[in-house]
Amino acid sequence: MEKFVIRGGRELHGTVKVSGSKNASLPILFASILSGRLELTNVPDLRDVSTTCTILEFMGFSVERSADRVKVVEKEVIPEAPYELVRTMRASILALGPLLARFGRAKVSLPGGCAIGLRPVDLHLKGLSKMGAEIEISHGYIIAKVNGRLKGADITLDFPTVGGTENLLMAAVLAEGRTVIRNAAKEPEIVDLAKALKSAGAHIEGEGTDVIVVEGRRELSPISYSVMPDRIEAGTFLSAVATAGGEITVEDFPVETLKTVIDKFREAGLEIEEISPSKVRVRKKGRLTGTDITTQPYPGFPTDMQAQFMAAMCTAEGISVIKETIFENRFMHVLELQRMGADLKIEGNTVVVKGVERLTGAKVTATDLRASASLVVAGLGAENTTEVYRIYHLDRGYERLEEKLKALGADIERVPSELSY
Ligand code: EPZ
């Protein structure tokens, strides 16, 4: 086990390059089940990427990784994703649609809940059933099969689920006939998945809007694609400067995909200059002002930035009202931030932040990926030393975060943890 030791109070200066997107890489890697072959570049070196590659190997694909490149080639496929692997990464459910579409059957462990909520997959299953899949749940597994091919269908999602949209989009590209996905999620990572599928000949229109139309095909050619940069990682660096101060340039990410986050940080008083469509310069020129946010599906304020924004508001002047509408339990970081002296009050799905002058360093424990990021961000600006335990949560979604922060002037070390859990 490892922990971060952060000596707070140092401003950040310099330039940081964003890695490839975790939430685009994972669905595109599972899309290799549809095409049989895939070459992907700009893939970040993350635990979740490794888990996905392990699942693909377990299924009978050969996977080669070197630097940011991943090559997947189909061998003898067993369309199953076992509990032991799925329990470590909920996104494994994204194997279901591709396995059904390509092999007509699938046995995928039901992903359990996680720290941030129940996270059911009912909308995934409802949509696949509409496409002709027979689905039963037995002993914690989803057992699905279809006679012949999946059939295109007109599907309206009760909620713009990101994973549900991705599963149905991937199922639709090999289904017979036309599929329309209404109330589809519009996240940029879905657009990236669609582009990767189109690179292999898929017929998709409307990605990035709430109506996606797919004309199914019999087969796809190999996927060859470069993953989009990680907009949430970019946003996390904005939070770091908002908390620790200084001036940095964040480059190589699609600035327009982070518009609501940039607007909110500007509203709070952070100076953000858009130098190009893929580069911003961020400067903190004084104490920030408390600012309200409500998380929403894209293009609203992303839930994956809620914890990091909260960390920055802990030392802003005045009140910030932070409302989480996507997950029912995404406030695990609140208790840990309170231990650093933050003045936070949970009221249902809202947290009222009352800004304090400064946080004080403490020993804190990460509970989930973005909570970990918020504790690191808080530690960068806090007095004295902050130790963040269970940083394996952070390694799921950030590539070499401590190295990137160190290069910007932060005093942060990854060291063995004296605690065994
Ligand atoms: C994706 O999760 C992301 N993960 C999450 O990022 C992100 O927070 C989330 O989308 C929302 O943007 C990946 O892309 C790998 P959802 P996903 O289906 O697909 C409910 C991170 O930190 N729901 O849009 O699981 C669900 O319970 C991670 O990088 C149903 O009720 O999100 C949740 O409350 C965390 N039934 C809400 O919808 C369903 O069938 C949003 O879930 C599906 C979802």
Shortest-distance Cα residue to atom 27 of ligand 1: 119
Assigned domain for 164 exists? yes
Cα(243) to centroid of ligand 1, in Å? 27
- Count other Cβ atoms within 10 Å, centred on residue 237: 24
Please indicate, yes or no, whether residues 52 and 125 belong to a single structural domain of this protein.
yes
The residue written with tokens 């390059």 in the block is 17
412 and 341 in a common domain: yes
Q: Same structural domain for residues 254 and 145?
A: no
Q: Is residue 421 part of a domain?
A: no
pLDDT in tens, the chain (421 residues): 999 999 999 999 999 999 999 999 999 999 999 999 999 999 999 999 999 999 999 999 999 999 999 999 999 999 999 999 898 899 999 999 999 999 999 999 998 667 777 778 999 999 999 999 999 999 999 999 999 999 999 999 999 999 999 999 999 999 999 999 999 999 999 999 999 999 999 999 999 999 999 999 999 999 999 999 999 999 999 999 999 999 999 999 999 999 999 999 999 999 999 999 999 999 999 999 999 999 999 999 999 999 999 999 999 999 999 999 999 889 999 999 999 999 999 999 999 999 999 999 999 999 999 999 999 999 999 999 999 999 999 999 999 999 999 999 999 999 999 887 7
Q: Which residue from 326, 372, 401 has its CB within 8 A of the most atoms of ligand 1, so it is best to mutate?
A: 326
Q: What is the pLDDT of residue 72?
A: 98
Q: Is residue 407 part of a domain?
A: yes
For residue 167 and ligand 1, the question of a CB distance below 6 A is answered with no
Q: Please tell me whether residues 125 and 244 are part of one structural domain.
A: no
Q: What's the CATH code of the domain at 191?
A: 3.65.10.10
DSSP readout, 358-387?
A: --B--EEE--SHHHHHHHHHHHHHSBSEEE
Domain residue limits at 392: 2-19+229-416
- The verdict on 266 and 118 lying in the same domain is no
Structural domains of the chain, count: 2
Atom of ligand 1 nearest to the CA of 232: 29
Look at residues 191, 226, 261 and tell me which one is the last residue of a structural domain.
226
Query: Are residues 196 and 320 part of one domain?
Result: no
**CB-CB neighbours of 298 under 10 Å:** 19
361 part of a folded domain: yes
Nearest CA residue ID for atom 34, ligand 1: 327
Distance 99 CA to ligand 1 centre (A): 20
Q: Are residues 153 and 247 both part of a single domain?
A: no
Which is the closest atom of ligand 1 to the Cα of 368?
22
Give the pLDDT score at 113.
66
CB of residue 164 inside a 6 A radius of ligand 1 = yes
Distance 161 CA to ligand 1 centre (A): 6
Cα(97)–Cα(37) distance, integer angstroms: 17
Cβ within 8 Å of residue 377, ≥6 positions away: 236, 239, 240, 243, 244, 308, 311, 312
Choice from 21, 22, 90, 159 to test ligand 1 binding pocket (greatest atom count within 8 A of CB)? 159
Q: Do 216 and 235 fall into the same domain? A: no
User: Whose Cα sits closest to atom 14 in ligand 1?
Assistant: 23
Q: Among the three residues 167, 191, 226, which one is the final residue of a domain in this structure? A: 226
Instruction: Give me the half-sphere count of Cα atoms (radius 13 Å) on the Cβ side of residue 391.
Output: 26
Residues 216 and 233 in one domain: no
Check whether residue 222 and residue 244 sit in a common domain.
no
Same domain, 247 and 214: no
253 within domain boundaries: yes
Has residue 214 been placed in a domain?
yes
314: annotated active-site residue: no
Decide which of 226, 252, 272 is a domain's last residue. 226
> Active-site residue among 77, 114, 115, 180?
114
Alpha helix positions (H), 173-274: 188-198, 231-244, 259-267
pLDDT at 176: 98
Q: How far is the CA of 301 from the centre of ligand 1 (A)?
A: 14
pTM tops 0.85: yes
Q: Does 158 contact ligand 1 (Cβ within 6 A)?
A: no
The answer to whether the CB of 122 is under 6 A from ligand 1 is yes
Whole-number Å distance, alpha carbon 360 to ligand 1 midpoint, is 33
9 shares its domain with 31: no
